[in-house]
Structure 1
């Protein structure tokens, strides 16, 4: 009996150990949390599944895009002859001293295997000599093919002895906010520098510039101007142009001319010799002005038409004051920079389908862009217009532009109503030509303009 009791006790202990081991090591836990039920429903905060690969940055590879880009981005050296005043008298009455060479640097992007290079206009402005250095350290002299100060795009060319690597223009309209991009250039004369960031915003307006930009947080510094902004596929989606900074160095914001605008400017320069700029023919009210706030225009999602220019595409299509532009073709228009950014990639004669909101009714209106007939030239601020057939007969000339408005500074010279025919020794053909030529005026430079009065007499004015 004692032997049987001992055997039973051993069996009980063995069973307890086996059950404990199973509970501890093999049985899946099954916990129940007991809470007070107040009738509250469980709310799911997100229906977006997370990536099984973890954070998105781990999914991006920049190496291929960088390798394909660095050899197509060049260093641009601009030698200019500048002069400046050394006395107060020279400051007010002009400087006649010796010209001093100055060297500026920037970047450029090869866009064809035969040596065409796109850069910023401010990189090559007023150049006496241009030199381009490739990524293999070979240096070539470059020629200016054409410029567009309004978009800050210039086209130059080198003659190399071999086929050159180049970048193809991408479609900047397809670029998305949050997309990874690379900025490639030569900041501080450091060749082939690659920085990464994301697209922070599209169709960004800067100060009073009639232009829209791609904003990115990829580091851009002096010397990056004219360099490439590419996506992770290596497509050229922008030309790096400007930064917003109180120090002149990168602080987190940089801006690029969208590739669709740069491509259109380059094609126009090659095909026509100048930029073919089509306009819609409307003006709007600044969004943050007191009038806009008072009238509630500040809260409009779209572009409010405040005025329609006579003899424009908008005028012919019977767009009217109070209409709100909501969409152009398939592009949503939420602010004025969206509109000018899209139209900047079009030419006179292009037809756009404009969606407008008129008295709570949405209308689709075809509008044909026309060439601008009036504009304000830079620096001097003259308002000018292309000559009509009547003007050509009255002034007995087929070239030039008519001055239709002058700022207060020039009122005493009786310039309004006269025809401006030359800038220095260069003839002026039309308002686009005038804008380009007057964009060359520098603070200490001196030039002359020649005008015709209604008697056909020539008058010359020295500008300094």
Structure 2
């Protein structure tokens, strides 16, 4: 009796619900099953069954035709998923991968009726799609909650159409927050509420009945639920949905820089007091360049918010209105500068390659030098032609790398091009030696190199030794 009582008191203290039934009754009418239909082109013959030209080819073609499997006829392929209604006039949220490529989309409601849906817009970056159905009566809907208030350990409930079994409910807790899977704008809530195939696009509810996530993915070795599911956070979804409603597409802010995280060795090489911010590796033509940003700047604040790392900055910029002028604080050569940047649109800039930096004309210097675990040589016209480098790329080419060196360990390889050292251009082997001497005189233990490979720049800090 004592044990039972203590367990009961503990459950009450933790806020465990006695039942999820009332909540399920209230929100079920707003959750929908989604069925898609897609036309798949048929094969022109019995390929894969008999070799082309075989005497049995006609026999198998006739056999397929008699059994309704004419290889050259288009086939209809269907898929199942979940979704939820967010307004009485029929807007429905689901996953992009549920409806991707669909010719027809049918939405089945909890009460048993079905309606055809039109696609309003999609965002592959967050795997969100917005649909619209037309009904004769106002539809029951659910509201989005604030996903930032969800805490690890909070109870949550998932609803959807797992494995095509129809409307189904599962419950669990928030297992983790701010998970990143593979996307630039990922912000997933991890939950142990059972999520299976067919749950994609369905809602994850808090105990107030508000949607705090859209069930999107599972981690599983066998395709079934093992208690590791991921829901895209509602605060990300709301911004996407609002833009899809207004524009039929997303419009994310674009700063126009390439960046990397500030690591311990990079911070030491640059003389930074804290390991935080986003290190600018390249500034192609765009908003940041127009505002005076430079490679080697460390972005510490964006639009009044501190920048912890590159992932945080990308999300901050993407969530900011296109055309807005923001204050960006950078560290440059030990001093703080504030730049005013008018953001462009990310979608318009996608696929734009950053321009190489313009450096002064390099002098011919055919000698090689073994230093910092590498054999280096100036970028000559012959090297430029051999490596197919742009005319504006100047610096030192890596001829070879000692596999036992720190340079090799940190990813430097043959044919990489070093364009800067100590945040200054290097056009000759003498320039690099000068940068090393300057760093040693300043008491630095490492030297920051800007390395380009295939046009992609990144900073690498190498120890200078004792």
TM-score (norm 2): 0.59
Cα shift readout 1:329-358 (whole Å, capped 9, x = no counterpart) = 576643433333344433312344555555
Give the match for residue 141 of structure 1: 116
- 1:78 pairs with 2:36: yes
Alignment of 1:275-354 (within 5 A): 275-285=250-260, 295=266, 300-312=275-287, 314-326=288-300, 328=302, 333-354=307-328
| Partner residue in 2 for 1:437 | none
2:98 paired with 1:113: no
Establish whether residue 369 from structure 1 lines up as the match of residue 327 from structure 2: no
CA contact (8 A) 1:205 1:337 kept: no
Q: 1:232 to 1:318 in 2, by over 3 A?
A: farther
Contact 1:75–1:134 (CA under 8 A) maintained in structure 2: yes
* Residue of structure 1 in register with 2:15 after alignment: 59
Could you tell which deviates more after superposition, 234-243 or 129-138? 234-243
The TM-score, its normalising length taken from structure 1, stands at 0.59
* Cα gap change, 1:315 to 1:88, in 2 (>3 Å): farther
CA–CA separation in structure 1 for the residues paired with 2:306 and 2:21: 34
Mark the CA change 1:58 to 1:225 in structure 2 (over 3 Å): closer, same or farther. Answer: same
CA distance in structure 2 between the aligned counterparts of 1:365 and 1:177, rounded to whole angstroms = 38
- Deviation per CA, 1:189-208, whole angstroms, max 9, x where unpaired? 2333222333344433223x
CA distance in 2, matches of 1:296, 1:254: 36
Once the two structures are TM-superposed, the CA of residue 367 in structure 1 deviates from its matched residue by 4.1
Q: Secondary structure of 1:59's partner?
A: coil
Aligned structure 1 segments of 4 or more residues deviating by more than 6 angstroms:
360-364
CA-CA distance at 1:106 after TM superposition: 0.4
Render the CA deviation track for 1:235-278: whole Å, top value 9, x for unaligned. Answer: 22221112222322222322222223322222222222322121
Q: CA deviation at 1:55?
A: 5.0
1:104–1:200 distance in 2 versus 1, CA, 3 Å: same
Once residues 176 and 131 of structure 1 are traced to their aligned partners in structure 2, the CA distance between those partners, rounded to angstroms, is: 35
Correspondence 1:131-280 to 2 at 5 A: 131-207=106-182, 209-217=183-191, 218-280=193-255
Give distance in 2, aligned partners of 1:198 and 1:352.
38
C-alpha distance in structure 2 between counterparts of 1:160 and 1:199, whole Å: 35
| Partner-residue secondary structure (3-state), 2:187 | strand
Q: CA deviation at 1:164?
A: 1.0
Q: 2: CA distance between counterparts of 1:121 and 1:178?
A: 29
Q: State how far apart, in whole Å, the 2-side matches of 1:355 and 1:175 are.
A: 31
- Structure 1 residues 219 and 57: CA distance shift in structure 2, 3 A: farther
Q: Whole-Å Cα distance in 2 between the matches of residues 270 and 63 of structure 1?
A: 33
Paired with 1:144 and 1:285, the residues of 2 have a C-alpha distance of 37
Any unmatched runs of 5+ in structure 1? 1-51, 91-95, 377-382, 386-464
Q: CA deviation at 1:142?
A: 1.2
Q: Is the 8 A contact 2:179 2:190 kept in 1?
A: no
Cα 1:101–1:123 change in 2 (3 A) is same
Whole-Å Cα distance in 1 between the matches of residues 132 and 318 of structure 2?
24
Checking the alignment, whether the CA contact within 8 Å between 2:252 and 2:322 is kept in structure 1 is: yes
Structure 1 residues 384 and 176: CA distance shift in structure 2, 3 A: same
Q: How many residues align?
A: 318
CA contact (8 A) 1:109 1:228 kept: yes
Q: In the superposition, relative to structure 1, how do residues 119 and 111 fare at CA in structure 2: closer, same or farther (>3 Å)?
A: same
Residue 433 of structure 2: aligned partner: none
Of residues 105-114 and 230-239 in structure 1, the stretch that sits farther from structure 2 once superposed is 230-239
Change (3 A) 1:176 1:333: farther
| Deviation of 1:119 (Å) | 0.9
Within 2, Cα distance between the matches of 1:66 and 1:211? Answer: 31
Counterpart of 1:87?
Answer: 47
